[in-house]
């Protein structure tokens, strides 16, 4: 919103600025400092509904569960965050209905341009202007497999909502506003609760990738990290080390410990990946919300696979939070 009043050509302040700073949300790495008594699992869930925005973080009640916070902050017509995204976007775009429709479709899991257009019943050429505006506003990002040499020209681009708060709002709140405003909060909360673990899966992947990029998780210097996919296979984390070797990983936000099947699946994906890329694979890694079975731990130890549960991740954060 500030850009419109200061940097836009039509603004009376245009050309008078002496400098500019683009403020970014706080990284997840700092959440333990704000909520030192919360577990890593709680912090990740709190991040999903606050997105590193200090003002939103102020409203979080660490004594309550994430679902209780969601009820208080979102699932109530009088709640602070119930209408916040609508207010923010109304300051930036004119055709609010069109932009909201696009974001709702993307939040529902449609990330390919063709899929977005099909869900909206329009041709892809009608979407490019809207998508560019949303990218310029840092609301959307276009991601490509981390191995792509020319990302701008890649035909594998996927559109994702950058901000976790907006992603949550367009997935759960915007489609259910009729129920919220008719005071059917219990119905909406049940829908959120039933889909919460699936939603957190994508947040977990995002957080792990961000921590790897910031050199806070792996004991290897990483020069780039992201997802990798093609028509047949998707890998949650592909990180290239300074020695030009790959570390491939999977992130699982499940309520049960990972068993050996998760490792076998990752090894199968790694074999497929190695057939398409000449750089060697240095390590495989598994990241799990609920830890690992003893059988998987034994197999991982024998094969040199890296295992990260939330306790391990928390230890890494505590060791690097001041960096």
Q: What is the pLDDT of residue 208?
A: 98
Q: Are 177 and 188 in contact (CB under 8 A)?
A: no
Residue 6 banded pLDDT, cuts 50, 70, 90: very low
Task: Kindly tell me the burial class for residue 259, based on how many C-beta atoms sit within 10 Å of its own C-beta (0-12, 13-18, 19 or more).
Answer: middle
Residue 321 banded pLDDT, cuts 50, 70, 90: very low
Apex CA 67: angle with CA 66 and CA 70, to 5°? Answer: 90
Say if residue 96's pLDDT is above 70: yes
Cα separation, 26 vs 215, whole angstroms: 16
CB atoms near residue 242 (< 10 Å)? 9
Average pLDDT of the segment spanning 228-246: 95
Total residues belonging to the chain: 323
Q: What is the DSSP string of 94-112?
A: S-HHHHHHHHHHHHTT--S
- For residue 139, is it left (φ>0), alpha (ψ between -120 and 50) or beta? alpha
Same domain membership, residue 226 and residue 195: no
Average pLDDT of the segment spanning 231-257: 96
Which of 208, 240, 259 corresponds to the end of one domain? 208
Same domain membership, residue 5 and residue 75: yes
Same domain membership, residue 41 and residue 1: yes
Q: Give percent of the chain above pLDDT 70.
A: 92
Q: What is the pLDDT of residue 7?
A: 47
pLDDT 10s digits, 68-82: 999 999 999 999 999
Same domain membership, residue 137 and residue 269: no
Cα separation, 137 vs 115, whole angstroms: 22
Same domain membership, residue 188 and residue 263: no
Same domain membership, residue 135 and residue 183: yes
pLDDT 10s digits, 32-49: 999 999 999 999 999 999
Which of 179, 208, 237 corresponds to the end of one domain? 208
pLDDT 10s digits, 161-213: 999 999 999 999 999 999 999 999 999 999 999 999 999 999 999 999 999 99
Residue 323 token pair: 């960096």
Domain with 222, as residue range(s), is 214-320
CB atoms near residue 313 (< 10 Å)? 23
Cα separation, 150 vs 306, whole angstroms: 31
Which of 208, 236, 263 corresponds to the end of one domain? 208
Same domain membership, residue 239 and residue 119: no
What Å distances lie between residue 200 and 42, 119, 253, 268, CA to CA?
11, 24, 7, 25
Say if residue 277's pLDDT is above 90: no
Same domain membership, residue 192 and residue 291: no
Residue 176 token pair: 């259910």
Would you call 267 helix, strand, or coil by DSSP? helix
């Amino acid at each position: 919103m500030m850009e419109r009043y200061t940097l836009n050509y039509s603004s009376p302040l245009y050309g008078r600025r002496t400098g500019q700073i683009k403020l970014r949300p706080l990284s997840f790495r700092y959440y333990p400092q704000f909520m030192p008594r919360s577990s890593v699992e709680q912090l990740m869930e709190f991040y999903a509904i606050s997105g590193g925005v200090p003002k939103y973080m102020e409203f979080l009640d660490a004594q309550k569960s994430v679902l209780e916070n969601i009820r208080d902050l979102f699932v109530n017509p009088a709640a602070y965050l119930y209408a916040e995204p609508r207010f923010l976007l109304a300051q930036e775009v004119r055709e609010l209905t069109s932009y909201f429709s696009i974001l709702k479709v993307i939040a529902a899991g449609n990330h390919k341009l063709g899929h977005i257009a099909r869900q909206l019943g329009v041709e892809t050429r009608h979407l490019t202007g809207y998508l560019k505006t949303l990218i310029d506003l840092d609301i959307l990002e276009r991601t490509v497999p981390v191995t792509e040499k020319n990302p701008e020209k890649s035909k594998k681009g996927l559109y994702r909502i950058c901000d976790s708060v907006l992603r949550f709002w367009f997935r759960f709140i915007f489609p259910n506003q009729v129920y919220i405003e008719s005071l059917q909060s219990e119905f909406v909360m049940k829908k959120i609760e039933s889909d919460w673990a699936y939603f957190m899966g994508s947040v977990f992947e995002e957080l792990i990738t961000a921590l790897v990029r910031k050199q806070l998780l792996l004991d290897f210097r990483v020069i780039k990290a992201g997802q990798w996919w093609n028509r047949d296979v998707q890998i949650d984390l592909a990180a290239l080390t300074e020695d030009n070797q790959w570390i491939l990983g999977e992130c699982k936000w499940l309520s049960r410990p990972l068993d050996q099947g998760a490792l076998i699946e990752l090894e199968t994906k790694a074999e497929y990946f190695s057939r398409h890329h000449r750089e060697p694979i240095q390590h495989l890694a598994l990241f799990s919300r609920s830890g690992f079975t003893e059988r998987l731990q034994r197999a991982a130890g024998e094969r040199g696979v890296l295992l990260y549960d939330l306790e391990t991740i928390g230890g890494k954060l505590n060791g690097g939070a001041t960096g």
